[in-house]
A and B are shown apart, each in its own frame.
Chain A
């Protein structure tokens, strides 16, 4: 029973990690607390869901459309809500407010579109295949989800630390002005950054939509709050930190629901956040909160 719950926790937690990655990526480079990340996630899930409902696309295509949809929404968000502020050199606080506004607009649009309904992926979107392994019931979907998240993280790390595009992103994260003096186009970097962030959120959206069997306009908001916990626990701007903290939160949440009560889950998660902040204010993997950036692993 415990092992079964742990497994469920790992599956949910890895998706939390994926969601938080996109959030921490933008924070690490642009120092924006993107409060609209939950809305991007929701629109990614919507893109995947509508592709399935309207065009009957299979699971992998739905994921892809969720990724591209989330990525495009995120890029537009950057153009509308953040780029004008960057141009004027506005303080970071302005972009938080701007993202809250953008988030509300995106939520209202989704609410109008769906008439506040809760929607579901068709049951046959993913074949139900169950393996029995040492008394553990493992669904194929669970394996696939953990595998996808694992691949996404490896891919992201490779992109950031082993390609020239990643080098440009890390350079802009360290100093946009110096990067421009060298010839790096900050618009291109931000385009990639917001697309990546949105694509990760979109994939997380489709996966969460399938796992919890529900897609609705408010689905991103509880995740956004948990993503805060995840990236603060993991250390702001740290990619492995986001993943590890995501797993931790997923496991704690699942175990609390299973053994204590569903209502206590968030209370426990946030208590844990307080505790960690008291003992290690920079998070579990953060080297120092003030200079947290994706430039460092």
Chain B
């Protein structure tokens, strides 16, 4: 569904990606893990058209999308939930959701879509008329995901959805992602919490300093001693 071929990106004069290739299949959760500054967010932003690709190809459903304007990529069905949630805080919860739908160029009745989001995250229904800036971090993350869903994405890109959230909220968010995936949604997940990401995903790639260093089934990577050593901390490997 989303294929990245030999992608190189320079960001603020630094080579952030040096020939990254990966492929996300329809219906799967694919996770990209790696340390801070490895190029994970740059990867997502290049796919979303926010940062320009220097070389390489990005294919969405077989069509090259590099160089296309960011809003057109979103309208084509590749929607990103950016890092740090980024809800439009002066707008209410309901307005943010409506925005997600209209922004993607969808028309007609919104009632059933919004009900799906409220069913996934019931807290949003309770807070629907509150300004989204007043929500807790976890609720904002749920709203950011809900808002992206309102655009009916064919692939959902998530940048560090667990960042700064309490473990119980992280669980809730990830359970929602798994439910969405079972409903047929393809997900590309970027995470620093490698263990959680590998437990959630079908396939995974490890990125370091702008290069993919491991790639394979998430269940294999989780048992790989090198990956475990690097990303889970030694204590957990021994235990």
Report which of B71, B88, B90, B91 forms a contact with A186, defined as CB distance below 8 A. B71
Cα separation A139 to B103 with both chains bound (whole Å): 46
Interfacial chain A residues near B72, Cβ < 8 Å: 183
Interfacial chain B residues near A186, Cβ < 8 Å: 71
Decide yes or no whether B29 CB sits under 8 A from chain A.
no
Q: Interface extent on B, as a size class? A: 20 to 34
Nearest CB in chain A: distance from B134 CB, A: 13
Residue of B nearest to A295 (CB): B90
Cβ–Cβ contact A182 & B147, under 8 A: yes
Cα separation A178 to B103 with both chains bound (whole Å): 11
Cβ–Cβ contact B98 & A181, under 8 A: no
Q: Say yes or no: A174-B89 contact (C-beta < 8 A), given A181-B48, A182-B104, A183-B105.
A: yes
Bitwise interface map of B from 139 to 158 toward A, beta carbon under 8 Å scored 1, else 0: 00000000110010000000
Cα separation A178 to B99 with both chains bound (whole Å): 11
Decide yes or no whether A37 CB sits under 8 A from chain B.
no
Mostly helix, strand, loop or mixed at chain A's interface? helix
Decide yes or no whether A216 CB sits under 8 A from chain B.
no
Decide yes or no whether A293 CB sits under 8 A from chain B.
yes
Nearest CB in chain B: distance from A52 CB, A: 40
Residue of A nearest to B85 (CB): A178
Cβ–Cβ contact A180 & B148, under 8 A: no
Cβ–Cβ contact B91 & A183, under 8 A: no
Could you list 13 further interchain pairs (A-B, Cβ under 8 angstroms) beyond the known A182-B148, A183-B74?
A164-B102, A167-B91, A167-B95, A175-B86, A175-B88, A179-B88, A180-B49, A181-B79, A181-B80, A182-B104, A183-B104, A183-B105, A183-B151
Which 4 pairs across A and B sit closest by C-beta, in order of nearness? A183-B74, A295-B90, A182-B103, A180-B70
Report which of B48, B82, B98 forms a contact with A167, defined as CB distance below 8 A. B98
Decide yes or no whether B50 CB sits under 8 A from chain A.
yes
Nearest CB in chain A: distance from B167 CB, A: 26
Nearest CB in chain A: distance from B147 CB, A: 7
Cα separation A293 to B71 with both chains bound (whole Å): 23
Report which of A174, A177, A182 forms a contact with B79, defined as CB distance below 8 A. A182
Q: Say yes or no: A171-B103 contact (C-beta < 8 A), given A177-B82, A178-B88, A182-B148.
A: yes
Residue of B nearest to A296 (CB): B90
Decide yes or no whether B100 CB sits under 8 A from chain A.
yes
Q: Interface extent on A, as a size class? A: 20 to 34
Cα separation A179 to B74 with both chains bound (whole Å): 10
Nearest CB in chain A: distance from B5 CB, A: 23
Interfacial chain A residues near B100, Cβ < 8 Å: 182
Q: Say yes or no: A179-B90 contact (C-beta < 8 A), given A184-B71, A185-B71.
A: no
Residue of B nearest to A164 (CB): B102
Interfacial chain A residues near B74, Cβ < 8 Å: 180-183
Cβ–Cβ contact A171 & B80, under 8 A: no
Decide yes or no whether B75 CB sits under 8 A from chain A.
yes
Residue of A nearest to B90 (CB): A295
Nearest CB in chain B: distance from A111 CB, A: 39
Decide yes or no whether A168 CB sits under 8 A from chain B.
yes
Cβ–Cβ contact B90 & A168, under 8 A: no
Cβ–Cβ contact A174 & B148, under 8 A: no
Nearest CB in chain B: distance from A201 CB, A: 25
Query: Which of B72, B98, B99, B148 gathers most chain A CB within 10 Å?
Result: B99
Q: Say yes or no: A182-B50 contact (C-beta < 8 A), given A167-B91, A170-B90, A293-B90.
A: no
Nearest CB in chain A: distance from B169 CB, A: 21
- 29 A–B contacts, CB within 8 A, in A order: A164-B98, A164-B99, A164-B102, A167-B91, A167-B95, A167-B102, A168-B99, A168-B102, A170-B90, A171-B99, A174-B89, A174-B90, A179-B88, A179-B103, A180-B49, A180-B50, A180-B70, A181-B48, A181-B82, A182-B74, A182-B99, A182-B103, A182-B151, A183-B74, A183-B79, A183-B151, A184-B71, A293-B90, A296-B90
